Amino acid sequence: MLKIDIITVFPEILESPFSHSIIHRALEKKLTEIRIYNLRDFTSDRYKSVDDYPYGGGAGMVMKIEPVYKALKSISNGVNVNEVIYTTPDGEPFTQPIANYLSTCQHIIILCGHYKGIDQRIRDHAITREISIGDYVLSGGELAAAVITDAVVRLIPGVLGDETSALTDTFQDGLLAPPVYTRPANFNGWKVPDILLSGDQSGIDQWRMEQSMEKTKKLRPDLWKKMEDHEDRE
C-alpha cells in the first residue's frame, strides 16, 4: 500500500480534495494511506511561527529549517521513504512517467512550499525530488500536492473501476488521447463517427491511433517532436 505523507502550513486546504471522488474511494478501500501534518506542530516557537526574514535582505519570508527538519525526521524515523518531494515552481515538470513511477512506491513524503520558499539547506540535504506542476506561481504548494496525489493514486491497482482505463489516458503512450463519444449516436444532427459504431475493433483501434497522432501534432507539437526524436534514436 502506498503511503503519502504531506507536510503543510495550511492542512485545511487539502481536506476537500481528499474527501471526494477517486482519492476518497482509494482511502475507503485502504488502497492508500494519506496523512497530513501541520508544520506548525513541529516548531519550538511559542507563536507557532514557521517563517522568518531571509538572510541578506529582500522581499518575502522563508520557511525555517528547524520545523521542516523536525517534521521530516519524525515522519521518516525508522521507515523506508522512497522519495521526499518538495513542490516548487523551479522543480522538474510533473509528467505522467513520474506519476507512474511514484504509484509503484511504498512511501513518499510531499513538502508543500510556501512563502518565498524553504531554507536551501533542506533542499540540499533532505529533499530527493523537486516537482513543479507548471510554469507559474501559486500561493502555496498544497494544490500542487493535491494534483500529484490525485495523479498517482488513480494509478494504484483497484482504485479505478476499469483497470485498463488509466493505461489509455493521455500521455501514457506519449500521445494525447483520441476523441471519445457516448449515446445518443445522433444529437441535433451531430453524429458519432461511423467507425465507432461498426463493431470492427481492429478498425476502431486504428482510427483511435490516427486520431491521437493528429491531435498531438496539432495541439502539442512539442510532444510530437519528442516522439519523432525518440523514434530516430531507435
- What band does 229 get if pLDDT is binned at 50, 70 and 90? confident
Q: What is the pLDDT of residue 232?
A: 73
Domain segments of the chain as ranges: 2-153, 170-233
Condensed to tens digits (0 to 9), the pLDDT of residues 34-76 reads 999 999 999 988 899 999 999 999 999 999 999 999 999 999 9
Condensed to tens digits (0 to 9), the pLDDT of residues 70-105 reads 999 999 998 999 999 999 999 999 999 999 999 999
Q: Residue 198: exposed, middle, or buried by beta-carbon count in 10 A (0-12, 13-18, 19+)?
A: exposed
Which fold does the domain 2-153 belong to in CATH? Alpha/beta knot (3.40.1280)
CA–CA separation, 80 vs 60, rounded Å?
A: 35
Q: CA 172, 149, 14: angle at the middle one, nearest 5?
A: 150
State the residue for C-alpha cell 478501500: 29
The pLDDT mean for the chain works out to 93
Confidence (pTM): 0.89
Same fold, 2-153 and 170-233: no
Task: Please give the CATH superfamily to which domain 170-233 belongs.
Answer: tRNA(m1g37)methyltransferase, domain 2 (1.10.1270.20)
Residue 170 has pLDDT above 90, yes or no: no
